[in-house]
Structure 1
Amino acid sequence: MRSPNRGALEAMVAEATVDCYNDSECVTGFYTMLDEHLDVPFHTRVLGAQVTVSGIDLTDDHIVVICTRGRSRQRIRILDLPLPAPPPDGAEWIEAYRHWRR
């Protein structure tokens, strides 16, 4: 997957944040798009360890992914998640969220 160009990212941001009145609502809009489009589970490496990204969740002001390794579970901000190559379907929504957060 190639990263979406700036115009595509702006269109995705507009789609995720339509009718939003504040940043909290925008984060919820992105969470909704990620929940709908991001293909989980998928595998990636975090701090050199192979993990399974088994889902996403919404905290007070961040979108997080739920990473598992064996019986261990860890929540990581989606902005800090290294994506595998090739990235999972729907990863362009992570790029759009990163674009919006800048």
Structure 2
Amino acid sequence: MSATNSATQERTVSLAEQLTNALARSFTLGIDAEGFTHHYFRPADAVVVFDGRTLDHYQPLDGRPLREWKAFVSQKRGWASMGQLAHLGLRVDTERKENPRA
């Protein structure tokens, strides 16, 4: 039984690590009220806004928390829907930027 429990724990850790790694690279923040998709791309620490295949805007965050972009869009356009992983991604981004490792 302990071998099964250990395998389950390893699989759970592995899935959690995979999700965290995926969020560390990029995720869809959401779709604004005008129909534009906002996608966070961590390697550039930037938000890419597009309508279908057309680029609308590229916004470097320069170390600012992604939640500031979310609030900005809330005021300017509003959100029609949030991405499936947006809430978790926002939390990971905030933790990473507010608690940088030494």
What's the TM-score once normalised by structure 1's chain length?
0.41
What's the TM-score once normalised by structure 2's chain length?
0.41
Which of these two proteins has the greater Rg computed from alpha carbons?
Answer: 2
